[in-house]
Amino acid sequence: MNTSFLLFALLNPLFALLAAPLYMALIRKVKAYAQGRKGPKLFQVYYDLKKLMKKEAVYSPTSSWVMRFTPYLNLSTLLVCSLFVPLVFVPEPAGGLGNIIVFLYLLALERFFTALGGLDAGSTFGGMGSSRSMSLAAVIEPTMVISFAALAFVLKSLNLHKMFALTAGTVLPISPTLVLVSISLFIILIVETGRLPVDNPATHLELTMINEAMILEQTGKNLALLELTHALKQFLLMGILINTILPIGLSTEIDAGKIAVSTFLFLLKAGLLAVIIGLFESAIAKMRLFRLPAFYVMAFFFSAVTILIEVFA
């Protein structure tokens, strides 16, 4: 393993872990302003996580090791995923790490254990959320495969490191079809992180809950780990979208100055994307559950069109 990758393996997960909660807070802030409120402070989410980490976890008497194990497994899985997604600099290739097929399997593992944790407590809400999540996963996972396949078609690789090495140094997308793929990636970002119109993370109404229902029985530091996992997943999917559609500033060299500039630009681009997500959520209502596949089909359509263009153009 080379020095470049070792530095990447140290810095990339740490950067993602520290920055991820900030963008959860920024989206909430944008939504609050759109509704005429001030909303919580930007760093309130860090204070909440710190407070939860100090609290003792309380378990349902009917729960098993699954409920205790899930928060640690999920956060570990997303930290491994962060090795697949270069955020501010692209390291030299190391052992084929960065394969999007493995990346998708890791996301599926996280989703599976979250649903299992929701079922394990034996509560009605947990079972309802897990059931809904798995039903929607049956539709969105094939769409995710098609979307990432379209990305691989355009950038001629299954490796995210090689893809971003190709896009690094450019200001605009290297191919017009990447704009179509980006629409699919944006929809996947909304669906996978349980945002409107798929789910409403700001409500505990039984008729609308999906992700919140699955973690309703989690408490204390376990809840903090699951919230951190959720923020990390959102940040990594934002990173894929940003470095696909707007890769300006992404560094391919181990240079302190270039990495600092790249980090600054990435934080700005992520901030802009968070504002767009916040405005998008403020402008749209939650869809009925049985109408959600129509939303997913949009992502499938744009990805399928991209593949057809790449094959026949």
Q: How far is it, in rounded angstroms, from Cα 21 to Cα 49?
A: 9
- For the cut 70, the answer to whether the pLDDT of residue 254 exceeds it is yes
Structure tokens, 39? 């909303």
Q: From CA 179, how far away is CA 3, in angstroms rounded? A: 34
More confident: 313 or 239: 239
Indicate the pLDDT class of residue 55, thresholds 50, 70 and 90: very high
Helices marked H in 121-159 — which ranges? Answer: 124-155
User: Quick one: what percent of the chain has pLDDT higher than 70?
Assistant: 96
Number of domains in the chain: 1
Residue 206: pLDDT band with limits 50, 70, 90: low
CA 54, CA 46: separation in Å to the nearest integer?
13
The predicted structure's pLDDT at residue 197? 81
- Alpha carbons 284 and 291: distance in angstroms, whole number: 14
- Phi (first) and psi of residue 38, to 5 degrees: -85, -35
Q: What is the mean pLDDT of the chain?
A: 89
Radius of gyration from C-alpha coordinates of the chain:
19
CB of 201 within 8 A of CB of 31? Answer: no
Task: Tell me the DSSP string of 201-215.
Answer: TT---TTT-SHHHHT
User: What is the structure's pLDDT at 89?
Assistant: 87
Confidence of residue 122 (pLDDT cuts 50, 70, 90): confident
User: Could you list the residue range(s) of the whole structural domain that residue 304 is in?
Assistant: 3-312
**Among 116-125, 127-136, 207-216, 252-261, the least confident range:** 207-216
The pLDDT of residue 208 is 65
Q: Which residue has the higher pLDDT, 111 or 293?
A: 111
Mean pLDDT for the stretch of residues 238-253? 90
Residue 135 has pLDDT above 90, yes or no: no
Q: At residue 200, does pLDDT exceed 70?
A: yes
Q: At what angle do helices 292-312 and 177-192 cross, to 10 degrees?
A: 150
Asked if 206 contacts 131 with a C-beta cutoff of 8 angstroms, the reply is no
Angle between helices 177-192 and 220-245 (to 10 degrees): 170
pLDDT top residue among 312 and 10: 10
